[in-house]
Structure 1
Amino acid sequence: MEDIRWKKFKLYGDYNVDMRSLYLAWATPGGLEKWFLRKADFFTVPQRLRTCDEQISKEDTYEWHWHGYDNTVVEKGQVLEANGLDLIKFTFTGGSTVTVSFSTRNGLTIIDLVQENIPQESDPEKNLLVQCQIGWTFYLANLKSVMEGGKDLRNKRVELVSCFK
Structure 2
Amino acid sequence: MNTAAWTIFTKRIPVKADIPTLYHAWTTREGLERWFLREAVFTAPDGLIRPHADFAQAGDAYLWRWHGYADDVFEAREVTEANGTDLFSFRFSGNCLVTVQLTPYDQHTLVEITQREIPEDNNPSTNLYVGCGEGWTFYLANLKSIYEGGIDLRNRDMRLQGVVVSS
- Find the counterpart in structure 1 of residue 109 from structure 2: 109
User: Following superposition of structure 1 onto structure 2, how do residues 1-165 of structure 1 map, counting pairs within 5 Å?
Assistant: 3-162=3-162
Task: Tell me the CA shift for residue 106 of structure 1.
Answer: 1.3
Cα distance in 1 for partners of 2:118, 2:137 equals 17
Q: Tell me which protein shows more helix as a share of its residues.
A: 1
Structure 1 residues 106-146: Cα deviation after superposition (integer angstroms, max 9, x where no partner) = 12111111000001112112111000000000000000000
3-state SS of paired residue (1:101): strand
Structure 1 residues 1-44: Cα deviation after superposition (integer angstroms, max 9, x where no partner) = 97101100001010111111011000101100000000001000
3-state SS of paired residue (1:159): coil
Task: Tell me the CA shift for residue 74 of structure 1.
Answer: 1.5
Q: CA RMSD in A?
A: 1.4
Number of residue pairs the alignment of both structures matches: 165
Amino acid at match of 2:115: Q
3-state SS of paired residue (1:158): coil
TM-score, length-scaled by structure 1: 0.96
Task: Tell me the CA shift for residue 163 of structure 1.
Answer: 5.6
TM-score, length-scaled by structure 2: 0.95
Amino acid at match of 1:94: G
Structure 1 residues 87-119: Cα deviation after superposition (integer angstroms, max 9, x where no partner) = 000000001010000010212111111000001
3-state SS of paired residue (1:125): coil
Cα distance in 2 for partners of 1:3, 1:137 equals 22
Q: Which runs of 5+ in 2 are unaligned?
A: none
Q: Which runs of 5+ in 1 are unaligned?
A: none
